[in-house]
Each structure stands twice: as structure tokens, then as C-alpha cells.
């Protein structure tokens, strides 16, 4: 790779202070340090440092998403074949699905890089690697049928409004990828609210998503309703494996769990948030099941058991990759428990009691993003109170 190094060294003066393209220095710097690790040395103590840096953190989150990408492509191919009544080999499914999601990925990265680089140049800050994660997340929460211009608009909205106007990665309040998804959700609700399936099948092909099935009927048992669907296999196992229609990367609970495990083992994602969210979801699902029994409510969603909530919709994906995002979540360990539990509980509440949207994970996480500073505030107040009592002694 000496030749590449030589080229970079050769063009460096052009981007340095006084060079012709001085204003584009962030672009040079980003390319240079992504291709070759920085040789920056410590200036004062600590003279030695841990090998981890933000580039490594961000690239590993992207790595954690790879299983979801591969499975997403497979599943999209499978859903197309299913809609056409064909049975194809996994290679053909992967190819068909891959062809569908490639343009979405390309448009997301094009739009995302454009804004990130523009802001870096204008605000003269280094390109932050966080946009890689944001751009890797956005396609996974998009329906495969989304028009590309909507991908471009929502990515732009997510990056600019969700992140850059606050000052970039580390200063943002909401998860930019979820902001992009929410923008799409509220701007084009007819296409994306999650009651009709998104399958890149023949024109006019449609059906109800798993979450829309119990939401549409009154006074039935949710599980037997799901099992009675013939168009798709909405059995628990199948939904856990992910062979159901949905956004590109969200359908497989299994592969989301693999990604989550990777984040927890590498120390990048907080297990407290994940366990908290599962506990919150389970607890609230038990409560709604109980409510359905004692109140005699005709809301079928109330009868949906916890283990079904866990594998349906975007819960697994949201908790694994969105809720664990460290910047927008709670910053204290105690706070992370509360933050996780509320995400799980709110997901069930929005799914069961809100009549407008069958899915609630995205809204639950965004809501808790907004509340995480408050949660931290209470945790910190606890610490302060303890200290003040000690000072008073």
C-alpha cells in the first residue's frame, strides 16, 4: 500500500493551510485517516493510550449490522418469490433481494456523506465517523418498497435535523437514523405506518403485517388470529427467524440478537438497556394480558403475549441497535435500566392502546431519547443528595 500512502502524502500540501483546496481539508483528513490509522502521538500524560478510538467503535457497530443486511436481502428475495408463488434457491433470493436494497444503501450513503462533508467543511470540524453508523442503520429501517427520493429526503432530514444542527455526533438529542425513519413515517403515513406489508412483489399485491392482524380484529385471541393467517407464516418461530415481511433489516429477532450480543461483548452497547427493555416489554405485556382478562376489553392486541411482542415488528432491531446508542440514551448505569424498561413498556402501550399505529418501538425510543436527560438528572440528584447528607454530618 506504499503507492497509496505516497499519493496521499503528495496531495497533502494542496489541502494544508495555504494550499489551493485548503477549505476541503476535512475531506482529505477523513480519507487519510480512514485508509491509514493516524500517527498522532500523545502530548502529555497519559503518555500511553488504549487502542480503541471512535473510528473503531463506529466501524464495529457497522460490522454488527452485517448479519441483518445479509438476512434482510435473503428475506426480501424470499418474500418476492412467495408473492409470485415461486420457490427459489437461497442464492437466487439473496441476489433478488440484494438488487432491491443496493440502490437504497447507495442513496442513503450518498445523501449522508454529502451532508456530513458539507457540515465538516463549513463548520471546520473533522468528519465524524458516526455518520457511517447512521447511514448503515437507515436502509435497515426502510421498507424495501420505499421510493429512492424519499430515502434521500429522510436521510437528509435525519442527518441535518437529527444531528448536525446540534453540533454533530456526541451532541445530538435524538438518534439520527430514527429521526429519518420518523420523518418518513409522519410525512408519508399512507405508505409506512406499518399496517400493510411492504413486499416488492407484483402491482397490487398486499396483505396485513403481523402486528396489524390482531389490531384489526375485535374481541378475538391474538395468537389464534395470527396462526389463522394463510398468506404469510405468522407462527412464533417463523417470526423469530424473520421470514416475514417488514422493513429491510428488522424482521429477524435471531440476527438482531446476534448483533446485540456482539455489541455487548465488545463493550459498545449497554446490556442494561437491552435487558431493561426486554423486562419492560414482558412486564407490560403481562399487564395488558391481565387487563384484557379482568376488564373484558374487546381490544385483541391486549391479548398478545410477551413472547410474541418480542419477535414482532421492529422491537428487536430497535432495542439492539437504536436504544443502545450511547449518546442519545441515558448516560448513567442506573439511568440505563430505567431508560430500557420504559422503552419496552411504552412499545407495548403504543402497540396495544394507540389505535393509529400498529408499531410502537420507534416512537418509544424517540420518546425516551427525549426523556433520558431527565432520567439522568434524577440519578445524579440521588448522588448529590447522598453527598450533601455526608457534608452536613
Given the complex with other proteins, which of 45 and 204 has the nearer CB atom? 45
Q: Give kind and range of the element (H or E) at residue 276.
A: helix 271-295
CA angle 112, 118, 122 (to 5 degrees): 150
Rounded least distance, CB 317 to other proteins, Å: 20
Residue 299 main-chain phi, psi, to 5 deg: -70, 110
Rounded least distance, CB 16 to other proteins, Å: 16
Rounded least distance, CB 343 to other proteins, Å: 18
Rounded least distance, CB 364 to other proteins, Å: 21
C-alpha dihedral (114, 116, 122, 125), degrees to nearest 10: -150
Mapping DSSP to helix (H, G, I), strand (E, B) and coil, where does residue 268 land? coil
The residues with which 218 forms a beta bridge, in sequence order, are 299
Which DSSP category does 50 fall into? -
Neighbours of 140 (CB within 10 A): 24
Grid-cell match 447528607, residue found? 389
What is the distance between the alpha carbons of residues 151 and 147, in angstroms, rounded to a whole number?
Answer: 7
Rounded least distance, CB 119 to other proteins, Å: 13
Contact in structure between 250 and 313 (CB atoms under 8 Å): yes
Given the complex with other proteins, which of 42 and 230 has the nearer CB atom? 42
C-alpha dihedral (348, 325, 178, 209), degrees to nearest 10: -40
Given the complex with other proteins, which of 91 and 125 has the nearer CB atom? 125
Rounded least distance, CB 106 to other proteins, Å: 21
**What is the DSSP track for 114-129?**
HHHHHHHHHHT-PPPT
Rounded least distance, CB 134 to other proteins, Å: 13
Q: Give kind and range of the element (H or E) at residue 280.
A: helix 271-295
Given the complex with other proteins, which of 8 and 257 has the nearer CB atom? 8
Given the complex with other proteins, which of 149 and 391 has the nearer CB atom? 391
Given the complex with other proteins, which of 223 and 261 has the nearer CB atom? 261
The residues with which 208 forms a beta bridge, in sequence order, are 196
Given the complex with other proteins, which of 84 and 384 has the nearer CB atom? 384
Cell reading at 105: 444503501
Residues that bind other proteins (CB under 8 A): 1, 4-5, 33-42, 44-57, 59-60, 126, 128-130, 167-171, 265-268, 270, 326-327, 331-333, 376, 379-380, 383-384, 386-388, 390-391
Given the complex with other proteins, which of 181 and 336 has the nearer CB atom? 336
What is the distance between the alpha carbons of residues 19 and 22, in angstroms, rounded to a whole number?
Answer: 5
Given the complex with other proteins, which of 190 and 392 has the nearer CB atom? 392
Rounded least distance, CB 368 to other proteins, Å: 16
Rounded least distance, CB 117 to other proteins, Å: 17
Contact in structure between 320 and 260 (CB atoms under 8 Å): yes
Amino acid at each position: 500500500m506504499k503507492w497509496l500512502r505516497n499519493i496521499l502524502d503528495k496531495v497533502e500540501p494542496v489541502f494544508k493551510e495555504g494550499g489551493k483546496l485548503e477549505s476541503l481539508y476535512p475531506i482529505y483528513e477523513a480519507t487519510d485517516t480512514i485508509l491509514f490509522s493516524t500517527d498522532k502521538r500523545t502530548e502529555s500524560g497519559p503518555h500511553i493510550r488504549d487502542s480503541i478510538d471512535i473510528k473503531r467503535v463506529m466501524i464495529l457497530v457497522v460490522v454488527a449490522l452485517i448479519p441483518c443486511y445479509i438476512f434482510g436481502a435473503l428475506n426480501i428475495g424470499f418474500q418476492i418469490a412467495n408473492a409470485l408463488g415461486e420457490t427459489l434457491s437461497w442464492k437466487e433470493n439473496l441476489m433478488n433481494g440484494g438488487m432491491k436494497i443496493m440502490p437504497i444503501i447507495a442513496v442513503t450513503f450518498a445523501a449522508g456523506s454529502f451532508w456530513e462533508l458539507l457540515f465538516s467543511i463549513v463548520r471546520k470540524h473533522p468528519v465524524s465517523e458516526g455518520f457511517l453508523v447512521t447511514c448503515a442503520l437507515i436502509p435497515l429501517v426502510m421498507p424495501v418498497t420505499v421510493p429512492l427520493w424519499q430515502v434521500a429526503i429522510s436521510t437528509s432530514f435525519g442527518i441535518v435535523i437529527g444531528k448536525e444542527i446540534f453540533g454533530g455526533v456526541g451532541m445530538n438529542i435524538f438518534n439520527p437514523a430514527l429521526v429519518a425513519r420518523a420523518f418518513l413515517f409522519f410525512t408519508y403515513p399512507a405508505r409506512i405506518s406499518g399496517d400493510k406489508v411492504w413486499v416488492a412483489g407484483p402491482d397490487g399485491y398486499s396483505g396485513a403485517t403481523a402486528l396489524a392482524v390482531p389490531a384489526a380484529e375485535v374481541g378475538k385471541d391474538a395468537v389464534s388470529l395470527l396462526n389463522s393467517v394463510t398468506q404469510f407464516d405468522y407462527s412464533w418461530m417463523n417470526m423469530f427467524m424473520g421470514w416475514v415481511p417488514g422493513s429491510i433489516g428488522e424482521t429477524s429477532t435471531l440476527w438482531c440478537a446476534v448483533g446485540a450480543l456482539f455489541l455487548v461483548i465488545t463493550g459498545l452497547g449497554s446490556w442494561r438497556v437491552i435487558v431493561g427493555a426486554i423486562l419492560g416489554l414482558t412486564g407490560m405485556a403481562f399487564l395488558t394480558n391481565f387487563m384484557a382478562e379482568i376488564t373484558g376489553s374487546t381490544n385483541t392486541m391486549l391479548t398478545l403475549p410477551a413472547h410474541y411482542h418480542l419477535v414482532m415488528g421492529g422491537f428487536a432491531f430497535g432495542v439492539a441497535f437504536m436504544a443502545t446508542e450511547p449518546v442519545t440514551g441515558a448516560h448513567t448505569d442506573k439511568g440505563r435500566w430505567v431508560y430500557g424498561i420504559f422503552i419496552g413498556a411504552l412499545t407495548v402501550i403504543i402497540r396495544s392502546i394507540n389505535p393509529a399505529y400498529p408499531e410502537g418501538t420507534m416512537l418509544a425510543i424517540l420518546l425516551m431519547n427525549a426523556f433520558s436527560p431527565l432520567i439522568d438528572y434524577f440519578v445524579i440528584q440521588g448522588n448529590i443528595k447522598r453527598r450533601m447528607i455526608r457534608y452536613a454530618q
